[in-house]
Amino acid sequence: MAQYSAALDDVFVALADPTRRGVVRRLGRGPTSVGDLAREFPMTLPSFMKHVRTLEASGLISTVKSGRVRTCVLNRERLGLLDDWLAEQRRVWEDRTDRLEQLLTEEDPA
């Protein structure tokens, strides 16, 4: 459970930045090189590489180097952590609102 929690924290931290969310969104369309990705963002390549390393450390992306080209690939399975967490939160809140609705619609016996 602690390992799951730490992994989920890493994913949320990685997605907290709009640049990194943009990278994930772009990689959702398919793998691309770091150079092509970096051109889409108004920053220097060294600054952009920090974002790539953060995403890679969180497990959201992986990179493969072939010659001088580093290609980024989205790890869709890692996004499953978010799906699982959100589904759990949805269940919790639906249960709470169902109980509230039940409480509000019950007739007062007095």
**Backbone φ and ψ of 92, nearest 5°:** -60, -50
SS3 51: helix
Q: Could you give all domains of the chain from N- to C-terminal order, each with its CATH number?
A: 2-105 (1.10.10.10)
- Per-residue pLDDT, averaged over 89-93, amounts to 80
Does residue 96 contact residue 102 with C-beta atoms inside 8 Å?
A: no
Does residue 58 contact residue 82 with C-beta atoms inside 8 Å?
A: no
For the whole model, what pTM was predicted?
Answer: 0.76
Looking at residue 11, its pLDDT comes to 93
Q: Looking up tokens 């790890």, which residue turns up?
A: 75
Looking at residue 18, its pLDDT comes to 96
C-alpha 56/C-alpha 62 separation (Å) is 6
The number of beta carbons lying within 10 Å of the beta carbon of residue 46 is: 8
Tens digit of each residue's pLDDT (9 = 90 or more) over 18-69 = 999 999 999 999 999 999 999 999 999 999 999 999 999 999 999 999 999 9
Looking at residue 92, its pLDDT comes to 75
pLDDT of 7 above 90: no
The number of beta carbons lying within 10 Å of the beta carbon of residue 91 is: 10
